[in-house]
């Protein structure tokens, strides 16, 4: 472990040196932007504020001061880029497609790729049950300690300025024209311009150092702590999983009960807001980020988030589904749970092209949207700052909460609700049949590997339904078909390659829920047990990518507590499988 950390430090030191001493080969980001944005007054003030805060700051400027682009020596191209920035700065209703074209052309010169873990052949022997239980207890204690110390379990966000490999010039233009809030358009424009200078210079190795496995590690220097109902719902499930193992002490069991009660309350009450349903009635949903002071941002980020263009938050279908699911599992009797969410979600379901305009940011239009539910919910004021997109993993969460509330919401007795569920299932089956579920481009907010884990979670909820209900919901046996394809991907691709701890936890969740053979668990189990303690004195494991944003740049969300929660849930499922065989 120490040797690996030393090698990482050496790598970063060398990368910093190369960035600082790089031979300048053309105009830099600052030569393009400083004359337009640094001291200008008037026009849209946010664009200049964003530039000064995010890109022209004292930390980034030295790394990029020698990162030039030779094609910008052409006076015409240089002027075209500056003119685009002036339009974005000065015009009341800018032509964003025209503004984005010179940046899109530069983006297409960047070559990025997703992680390609090498194959591995040695998985070792199966770890002992005692080792697995020790890590479960350690992770459970970590979550409870964090809740006790903070009053909540924090999650962190980190900016990766090199951007997402899937976001090329065409996708950038799609985002720039499909996003709604001007501040979000501004940040998308400038972040993507900066990506070119970063990716084509030695600075790329500082900002995006290599890592093991698939899920991106979160490097400590730029992490923004925050709280959301989506995260509280997830941590509620993790603590319920800890309690179900029977490994928690009586004191820990009491602490789990208190923490879950507070987190469910945060989801259903603190984070609740009302929106209009398609019939004009008001419906209670769960917002992506509750008003201040509830998000509990770091003090530093509280002061700059407005400058970065993150001033407006709206509810979303995923946070609502996961909050309802966690509350259901925790035994809540809050009246909001009696709302049949499927009636509301039907208004956000894409249908045969007629509802296609719902998806204004189609970054994953390689997949067929028909039957899918979009992400963002219009606030009561009509705000939708991020436009709208459609994510397959979100749709698994909608199915999962519908299965858990099948009786309460009278899904089988209400043809329209049953049809909504079946159309989502058909959407998922097409995704799996085509193999597109394995393509990172198909996913807006998650890794394909996380999709597999969440499919396992959804499959488990489906399997708990009575057989007659399963046949009525899934007469084509699509879940059985998808189980086979997804299980095959996890076994043949994910666990046959080098993994980090987070990859291994996702593999265990998928394998455990989908009923894989016991031997298939060994590689992931060994990865987790062998890396226990990698987080140092503060946490059992490091922080890794849980979910992400592709706009305005690649923003990775996770944290040490998130890793502990995923590891706990994966190991609990593996332990159950091992005990079943014994």
Which residues in the chain show pLDDT less than 70? 1-9, 121-123, 220-222, 294-312, 352-356, 581-582
Domain 129-160+208-581 in CATH 1.25.40.10: no
Q: Where are the domains of the chain?
A: 2-115+171-205, 129-160+208-581
In the prediction, which pLDDT does 309 show? 53
Say how far apart CA 89 and CA 479 lie, in whole Å: 51
Please report the pLDDT score of residue 503 as a whole number: 98
Ordered DSSP codes for 213-264: SSSPB--GGGEEEE--HHHHHHHHHHHHHHHHHT-S-HHHHHHHHHHHHHHH
Element (H, E) at 549: strand 545-549
* 155-160, strands of its sheet edge to edge: 223-226, 155-160, 554-558, 545-549
pTM for the predicted model, two decimal places: 0.94
What pLDDT score was predicted for residue 4? 42
Q: What is the pLDDT of residue 222?
A: 55
pLDDT reported for residue 308: 57
Q: Count CB-CB contacts under 10 A for residue 98.
A: 11
Main-chain phi, psi angles of 475, to 5 degrees: -65, -25
- Both tokens of 367, joined, read 């997949």
- State the pLDDT at residue 7: 46
- Token digits of residue 411: 């899904």
Torsion of CA 37, 40, 44, 47, to 10 degrees: 20
Instruction: Report the alpha-carbon angle 356-380-342, nearest 5.
Output: 55
Q: Residues of 463-482 as b/e, b for ≥16 C-beta within 10 angstroms?
A: eebeeebbebbbeeebbeeb
Report the pLDDT value the prediction gives residue 43, as an integer from 0 to 100: 83
At residue 309, φ and ψ (nearest 5 deg) are 95, 20
């Amino acid at each position: 472990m120490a040797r690996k950390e030393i090698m990482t430090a050496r790598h970063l030191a060398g990368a910093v040196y190369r960035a600082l001493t790089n031979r300048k080969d053309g105009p830099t980001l600052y030569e393009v932007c400083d004359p337009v944005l640094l001291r200008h007054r008037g026009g849209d003030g946010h664009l200049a504020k964003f530039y000064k805060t995010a890109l022209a700051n004292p930390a980034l400027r030295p790394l990029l001061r020698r990162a030039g682009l030779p094609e910008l020596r052409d006076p015409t191209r240089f002027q075209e880029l500056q003119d685009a920035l002036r339009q974005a700065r000065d015009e009341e209703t800018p032509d964003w497609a025209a503004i984005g074209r010179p940046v899109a052309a530069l983006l297409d010169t960047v070559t990025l790729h997703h992680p390609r873990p090498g194959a591995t052949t040695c998985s070792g022997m199966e770890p002992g049950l005692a080792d697995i239980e020790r890590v479960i207890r350690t992770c459970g204690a970590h979550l409870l300690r964090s809740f006790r110390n903070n009053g909540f379990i924090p999650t962190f966000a980190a900016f990766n300025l090199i951007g997402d490999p899937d976001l090329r010039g065409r996708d950038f233009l799609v985002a720039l024209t499909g996003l709604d809030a001007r501040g979000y358009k501004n940040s998308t424009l400038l972040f993507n311009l900066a990506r070119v200078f970063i990716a084509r210079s030695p600075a790329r190795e500082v900002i995006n150092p290599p890592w093991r496995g698939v899920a991106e590690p979160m490097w400590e220097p730029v992490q923004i702590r925050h709280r959301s109902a989506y995260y509280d719902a997830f941590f509620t499930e993790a603590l319920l999983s800890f309690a179900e193992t029977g490994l928690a002490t009586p004191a820990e069991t009491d602490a789990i009960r208190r923490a879950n009660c507070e987190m469910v309350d945060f989801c259903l009450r603190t984070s609740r807001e009302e929106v209009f349903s398609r019939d004009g009635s008001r419906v209670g949903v769960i917002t992506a980020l509750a008003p201040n002071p509830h998000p509990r941002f770091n003090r530093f980020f509280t002061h700059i988030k407005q400058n970065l263009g993150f001033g407006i938050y709206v509810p979303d279908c995923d946070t609502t589904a996961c909050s309802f699911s966690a509350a259901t599992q925790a035994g809540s009797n809050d009246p909001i749970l009696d709302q049949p969410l499927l009636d509301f979600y039907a208004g956000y379901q894409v249908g045969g092209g007629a509802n296609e305009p719902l998806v204004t940011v189609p970054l994953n239009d390689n997949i067929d949207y028909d039957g899918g539910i979009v992400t963002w919910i219009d606030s009561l004021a009509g705000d939708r700052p991020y436009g709208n997109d459609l994510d397959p993993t979100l749709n698994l969460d909608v199915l999962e909460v519908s299965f858990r509330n099948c009786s309460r919401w009278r899904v089988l007795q209400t043809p329209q609700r049953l049809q909504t569920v079946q159309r989502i299932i058909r959407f998922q089956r097409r995704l799996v049949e085509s193999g597109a579920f394995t393509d990172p481009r198909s996913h807006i907010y998650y890794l394909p590997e996380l999709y597999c884990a969440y499919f396992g979670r959804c499959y488990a909820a489906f399997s708990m339904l009575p057989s007659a209900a399963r046949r009525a919901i899934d007469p084509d046996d699509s879940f059985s078909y998808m189980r086979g394809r997804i299980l095959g991907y996890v076994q043949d691709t994910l666990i046959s390659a080098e993994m980090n701890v987070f990859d291994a936890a996702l593999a265990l969740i998928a394998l455990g829920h989908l009923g894989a053979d016991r031997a298939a668990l060994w590689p992931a189990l060994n990865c987790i047990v062998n890396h226990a303690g990698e987080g140092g004195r503060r946490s059992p494991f490091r922080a890794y990518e849980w979910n992400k944003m592709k706009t305005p740049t690649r923003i990775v969300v996770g944290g040490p507590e998130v890793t502990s929660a995923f590891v706990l849930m994966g190991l609990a499922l593996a332990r159950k499988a091992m005990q079943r065989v014994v």
